[in-house]
Amino acid sequence: MLSTVIPIAYALVSLAFLMSFWRLLRGPDAPDRILALDTLYVNTIALLVLLGIHLGNAIYFEAALLIAMMGFVGTIALCKYLLRGDIIE
Amino acid sequence: MIDILLSLLILTGAIFTFIGSLGLARLRDFYTRLHGPTKATTLGVGCLLIASAVYFSVRDEGVSLHEVLVTLFLFITAPVSAHLLAKAALHLKVRSLTPTLKNSDDTPAHL
């Protein structure tokens, strides 16, 4: 059961990844591109979690945690730049 | 039994992640696009992380708490980044498709 579900989940998350990437390339405004980057890092966390279940290795969570933290900081920094024209005032 | 639960959680998570990105790619203006990733994708990744927590708790015969950390972090940060993105978009006057309230004449009576 699990061995049939995991490839389907891989395919769905990869498609989600491609669609977010399309929005990153196309997005008409800067906030669209930032939102696409935000979605890309959340999708990366999903892929890493799936990889962890597939390979039965818990070490991937350290990477997922790091990506979650760094992605949040990156999104906040970019939004702050758009809002104020500066990141650290 | 655990196998069925895990499969259900993984499938739900993957489908919600997909729907979130579909919303991001297909919806028509920025303010509606903001809904997809911040709600559907967060729920999808939450489902996947619960599946992972169950999987490693059953396999290693001990409660696995790494996933709870990631889940907590993601659920706290998603609304904050969505709020800041909306603020940035309003500041840059990103075009919206719905008619906005420009002056007090447009304000509905019940407000």
- Closest partner CB to A79 (pick from B52, B74, B84): B84
**Average pLDDT estimate for B37-51:** 91
**What ipTM did this prediction achieve?**
0.89
| Beta strand residue intervals within A3-50, DSSP E | none
Give the CB-side neighbour count of residue A11, counting CA atoms within 13 A: 6
What kind of architecture, by CATH, is found in domain A2-84? Orthogonal Bundle (1.10)
Q: Taking 70 as the threshold, does the pLDDT of residue B37 lie above it?
A: yes
Greatest Cα pair distance, chain B, in angstroms, is 65
**Average pLDDT estimate for B77-89:** 92
Q: Where do we find the tokens 């709020």?
A: B83
Q: CA-CA distance, A47 to A13, in Å (whole number)? A: 7
**Residue B102: predicted pLDDT:** 55
Report CB contact under 8 Å: B70, A50.
Answer: no
Top-confidence residue, B44 or B61: B44
Percent of chain A with pLDDT over 70: 100
Percent of chain B with pLDDT over 90: 41
- The domain locations on chain A are 2-84
Please list every residue in chain B whose beta carbon sits closer than 8 Å to the beta carbon of residue A2: 3, 6-7, 10
Confidence bin at A77 (pLDDT 50/70/90) = very high
Q: CA-CA distance, B20 to B8, in Å (whole number)? A: 18
For residue range A43-66, what is the model confidence (pLDDT) as tens digits?
A: 999 999 999 999 988 888 888 889
* B92 in reach of chain A (CB within 8 A): yes
Q: CA-CA distance, A38 to B77, in Å (whole number)? A: 11
* B33 in reach of chain A (CB within 8 A): yes
**Residue B101: predicted pLDDT:** 54
Residues 6+ apart with CB under 8 A from B16: B40, B41, B43, B44, B47
**Average pLDDT estimate for B104-110:** 48
Residues 6+ apart with CB under 8 A from B80: A72, A76
Q: Taking 90 as the threshold, does the pLDDT of residue A86 lie above it?
A: no
Q: Taking 50 as the threshold, does the pLDDT of residue A84 lie above it?
A: yes
In single-letter form, the type of residue at position A87 comes to I
Percent of chain A with pLDDT over 90: 62
Output the six-digit token pair for B7.
């499969």
Residue of chain A minimizing CA distance to B76: A72
**Residue B70: predicted pLDDT:** 87
Q: Taking 80 as the threshold, does the pLDDT of residue B107 lie above it?
A: no
* B55 in reach of chain A (CB within 8 A): yes
Instruction: Find out if CATH 1.10.3470 is the number for domain B2-95.
Output: no
**Average pLDDT estimate for B57-78:** 85
Report CB contact under 8 Å: B84, A83.
Answer: yes
Confidence bin at A1 (pLDDT 50/70/90) = confident
**Residue A58: predicted pLDDT:** 80
Global pTM reads 0.86
